[in-house]
Amino acid sequence: MSSQDIPEENLPAEHSAGHNEHGAVTVADDKNPFADPGLPPHEHRVQDIDERAAKRSERVVAMLFTVSMLATVGFIASYVAIPHDKSIFVFPIGHINALNFALGLTLGLALFAIGAGAVHWARTLMSDEEIADERHPIEAPPEVKAKVMADFKQGAKESALGRRKLIRNTMFGALALFPLSGVMLLRDLGPLPGTKLRHTLWSKGKLLVNVNTNEPLRASDVAVGSLTFAKPEGLEETDENFQTEIAKAALMIVRLQPENIKDKQELDWSYQGIVAYSKICTHVGCPISLYEQQTHHVLCPCHQSTFDLSDGARVIFGPAGHALPQLRIGVNDQGYLEALGDFEEPVGPAFWERG
């Protein structure tokens, strides 16, 4: 509808220079490109001009309320009459408990009928008068601002804050210190982790134990191209903190040809081409489980981060932000693989980017 179609009486009353009494723009200009179009003509409902239509609407509303009453009676009857272990077949849901079905159906119908009746009543029979509430400027008029400032100054004067410096200073002190009680409550979130997040169970001399056989690994057990998962000796699945510790200490062991290892530190920290890396993805901590023997890539199944084990386990694809931490390993006198210390950096999802 264009503004030409709007009757004169529905257009906003002009006040001065293209503005109505509340400041709304009634005539567009360069400064105010959108004029207030006013209200469209009011269209009377059929119930307002035809008494028979109004009676029909009245009967519909009464019928809906009656349906609600019947549904409520049905709800009570269902509750009393239907055994709680009876089941019925309802297409397409299948077999369900008859009592639950009846209670849900009747209760839903009772509520729906009340709502539908109320809406129909409001839309067809209640008053249809249109009321426009003009939006007022947000900014307070100058006299209100002046009154607020005067009240503020009067309050400051009456409180004698400027004169009674002792009260003023102690009050500021009290207000400044009070938030500290909230800070103290943060202690209840503790105890602080301390350096626990920086260390795993690995330490110098700890044997690498195959997680499948629960036997310590010999260097000769690790074949080229195989992927073996290991845990620190002494950590058993029955331990109370097993999940916590294995989540930090889980290792994957791979044997590469030493000449295929491109990274010097990786070579130094390996034993005859056997490398030990954290199994925990540095993206969000999924366990890495896929190894491509030909390319020496390991792949995280969660979001496909891919790490090159022949090049310091650096990320070559995916969202992980850091290479996998490597564990320095060697063999003991009996030929068993052992750790030569802990990881030198935190394992897992990058320890919040490690500062």
| 299 lies in the binding site for ligand FES (CB under 6 A) | no
| 6 lies in the binding site for ligand FES (CB under 6 A) | no
- Choose the binding region for ligand FES from 16-24, 157-165, 195-203, 317-325 (rule: CB under 6 A): 317-325
- Choose the binding region for ligand FES from 177-185, 214-222, 252-260, 280-288 (rule: CB under 6 A): 280-288
| 201 lies in the binding site for ligand FES (CB under 6 A) | no
H or E segment and range at residue 211: none
Query: For ligand FES, which residue of 104, 225, 273, 318 counts as binding (CB under 6 A)?
Result: 318
40 and 47 Cβ atoms separated by less than 8 Å: no
277 and 326 Cβ atoms separated by less than 8 Å: yes
* CB closer to ligand FES out of 300 and 323: 300
| 287 lies in the binding site for ligand FES (CB under 6 A) | no
Count the residues of the shown chain that bind ligand FES, applying the rule CB under 6 A.
Answer: 11
- Choose the binding region for ligand FES from 123-131, 200-208, 231-239, 283-291 (rule: CB under 6 A): 283-291
- Choose the binding region for ligand FES from 50-58, 64-72, 211-219, 313-321 (rule: CB under 6 A): 313-321
Least separation in angstroms between residue 354's CB and ligand FES is: 17
φ and ψ at residue 75, rounded to 5 degrees: -60, -50
Residue 142: asked if its preceding bond is cis (omega within 30°), the reply is no
* CB closer to ligand FES out of 208 and 320: 320
Residue tagged 């109320």 (tokens): 118
Angle at which helices 51-81 and 98-124 pack, to 10 degrees?
160
Query: For ligand FES, which residue of 319, 330, 345, 351 counts as binding (CB under 6 A)?
Result: 319
Largest CA distance in the chain: 106
| 298 lies in the binding site for ligand FES (CB under 6 A) | no
| 273 lies in the binding site for ligand FES (CB under 6 A) | no
Least separation in angstroms between residue 317's CB and ligand FES is: 9
| 300 lies in the binding site for ligand FES (CB under 6 A) | yes
10 and 40 Cβ atoms separated by less than 8 Å: yes
One-letter amino acid identity for 57? S
Considering only CA atoms, which of 202, 204, 206, 207 is closest in space to residue 217?
207
Distances in Å between the alpha carbon of 224 and those of 39, 254, 301, 305, 355?
Answer: 83, 7, 23, 23, 37
53 and 46 Cβ atoms separated by less than 8 Å: yes
Distances in Å between the alpha carbon of 192 and those of 51, 147, 196?
Answer: 76, 53, 9
101 and 90 Cβ atoms separated by less than 8 Å: yes
Query: For ligand FES, which residue of 283, 296, 297, 328 counts as binding (CB under 6 A)?
Result: 283
Q: Which residues bind ligand FES (CB under 6 A)?
A: 281, 283-284, 286, 300, 302-303, 305, 318-320
